[in-house]
Amino acid sequence: MSAAKTGHIAGSPVKVLLIGCGPHAINFYLPAFLRCKTKWNAEITAVLDIKEQQEPVSVALERLGVCAAAYFTEPSEFEELSQDTSVLLESLLNKKEFNAVIIATDPVNHKNYASWALRHGLPILMDKPVTTRENAVNDTEQAHGILKDYEDLLALYKIYAFKQPFVLCAHRRYHPGILFIRNLIREVSVQTSCPVTNIHSYHSDGQWRLPHEVYTQKHHSYNQGHGKISHSGFHFIDCVVKFWEEGLACGKTADDVEVFSSFLRPRGLLKQLTREDYMNLFGKEYNEVCPELDEQLYKIFFNYGEVDANVSLALRRSGEPFSLASINLIHNGFSRRSWLYPGADLYKGNGRVKHEEHIIHIGPFISIQIHSYQSKDTHDICEQKDDEPGGNNHYEIYIFRNAKMIGGKAFDCLCLKDLPEADSFSSERLYITQVKERSIQEWIEAIHSGQTNFNKLLSSYTDHMMSVRMMSAIYNSFIQRMNGQNPLCIIPWGLS
């Protein structure tokens, strides 16, 4: 089926079907389209979710004032939509209720919806990661399947939908700070003929999830055999890939990457804080919240996905490493939670506090650092002082230069508001939300343009091969180590 018959026609309004209306969509996609409907000449006209989510989705649409038709179906199997869902989607498409698709489901279900949309020549904006697999942390076939999913969707895209933009909402690719640093890396690398030699990327989600919640909560869950790597972890894998890419502008190419990973899983949480510890912290009421003993939880947590992850990487040429990177990803980090019962919104609030840093070295010439640390778990209202450490919008860039070798100032400290690319940002809103909106805007502008060459899009689907390959290898490395095999995975370096 051709894109011309079913996809968006240049110049007409973009009518979006939002597939998956969970916490992320309710907190981001719905408000973003309400805020920018006129500016973008686009709106969410229909919402699709599973029947068990009918009540929370309906409540959210009414609360936000979203005038979109809502449809609910039975859950689909992996890689194959249910018959009812397929019939419904065909009917809505034939009635021209939408001409573009946002996929915001659990990533386990990304592939079946993306496959359907691609075969119908539709523009797609899809949440990160591309996909994940149930039991990816335990089964090498499922870990490899993450890469296979990417390749399968890429093949469909080339056949059916190459005339429409397919964008992954990996929003740090749109961040003014990240873009500034990528440009600086490329500049210094070309000037010195030196690639990036060391990277450290760190992120803490600031979520304190109590033991009972580990297996009962479905949002960013662990009970499907995957975790942090399949949640926000993909952003930081992708950052490392793009930092390395810019450093290779000097002409020193790479052949492959060594990957070694270590995970902390829910069973490890039971070793950190025992039932006795929780009783001391919260009192006897803890019994009502979590009736299970640690021994019972230990059995329940068998084969659960990763809570925290450490990943060591080495970029190689002719078998010799010439650049090292570490990725330190934490779900169970510093939090402001101090209460027993979780909040209704598991995406924002609920004690969640984010910390992030990146440190990049280009040999003896420059050290570039990003530091972003929150101290509050309420982000609805932001102020000017939230640019400071601990504020909702804290984001500082430190640059240390070997000034006599490469010129410039020996030390620079920049805030996000110092960058021209962030001029339009409002200090009254979360900067990261405004960054995310840029991914939507680029996608919609690409749809409106009617052009068919999307190579220059910041987060085109076709530009995520290496990040997906690395994600797959991170799971495989852990599986091999747990099976008593060599935990070192070596994957080819290639960006497309």
Q: Given this model, what pLDDT does residue 347 score? A: 66
Q: Given this model, what pLDDT does residue 229 score? A: 97
Kindly list the domain boundaries of the chain, sorted by start residue.
3-127, 172-426+462-492
Question: Is 80 exceeded by the pLDDT of residue 346?
Answer: no
Those residues with Cβ within 8 angstroms of residue 490's Cβ, 6 or more apart along the chain or in another chain:
256, 257, 258, 259, 316
Helix (H, G, I), strand (E, B) or coil at 443: helix
Radius of gyration of the chain (CA): 23
Span 387-416, mean pLDDT?
97
**Confidence class for position 451, pLDDT limits 50, 70, 90:** confident
- H-helix or E-strand spanning residue 70: strand 69-73
**CATH numeric code, 3-127:** 3.40.50.720
- H-helix or E-strand spanning residue 49: strand 42-50
Q: Given this model, what pLDDT does residue 96 score? A: 95
Span 15-36, mean pLDDT?
95
Q: Given this model, what pLDDT does residue 80 score? A: 81
The percent of residues above 70 in pLDDT, for the chain, comes to 96
Nearest-angstrom CA–CA distance, 351 and 393: 17
The percent of residues above 90 in pLDDT, for the chain, comes to 85
**Confidence class for position 378, pLDDT limits 50, 70, 90:** confident
The token duo for 435 is: 């960054």
Helix (H, G, I), strand (E, B) or coil at 293: coil
Those residues with Cβ within 8 angstroms of residue 3's Cβ, 6 or more apart along the chain or in another chain:
121, 122, 160, 161, 163, 164
**Contact present, 23 and 221 (Cβ < 8 Å):** no
**Confidence class for position 444, pLDDT limits 50, 70, 90:** very high
**Confidence class for position 46, pLDDT limits 50, 70, 90:** very high
Q: In what order do the strands lie in the sheet with 308-317?
A: 411-415, 396-401, 366-373, 355-362, 198-204, 320-330, 308-317, 256-264, 489-492
Give the helix, strand, coil percentages of the chain, each rounded to 5: 45, 20, 35
Question: Is 50 exceeded by the pLDDT of residue 270?
Answer: yes
Nearest-angstrom CA–CA distance, 372 and 435: 15
**Confidence class for position 2, pLDDT limits 50, 70, 90:** very low
**Contact present, 239 and 318 (Cβ < 8 Å):** no
Nearest-angstrom CA–CA distance, 388 and 396: 9
**Contact present, 120 and 34 (Cβ < 8 Å):** no
Span 355-384, mean pLDDT?
95
Tell me 314's DSSP state: E
Instruction: List, for residues 288-320, the tens digit of each pLDDT value.
Output: 899 999 999 999 999 999 999 999 999 999 999
Domain 172-426+462-492 is of which CATH architecture? 2-Layer Sandwich (3.30)
Q: Given this model, what pLDDT does residue 225 score? A: 95
- H-helix or E-strand spanning residue 401: strand 396-401
**Contact present, 362 and 189 (Cβ < 8 Å):** yes
Span 425-448, mean pLDDT?
94
* 3-state SS track over 210-245: CHHHHHHCCCCCCCCCCCHHHCCHHHHHHHHHHHHH
Higher pLDDT pick, 414 / 351? 414
Question: Is 80 exceeded by the pLDDT of residue 71?
Answer: yes
Span 124-137, mean pLDDT?
97
Instruction: List, for residues 179-214, the tens digit of each pLDDT value.
Output: 999 999 999 999 999 999 999 999 999 889 999 999
Span 249-278, mean pLDDT?
97
Rounded to whole angstroms, what are the CA distances from 28 to 86, 440, 484? 26, 11, 43
Those residues with Cβ within 8 angstroms of residue 320's Cβ, 6 or more apart along the chain or in another chain:
none
Question: Is 60 exceeded by the pLDDT of residue 5?
Answer: no
Single-letter amino acid, residue 400: F
Nearest-angstrom CA–CA distance, 227 and 337: 20
**Confidence class for position 3, pLDDT limits 50, 70, 90:** very low
Question: Is 90 exceeded by the pLDDT of residue 132?
Answer: yes
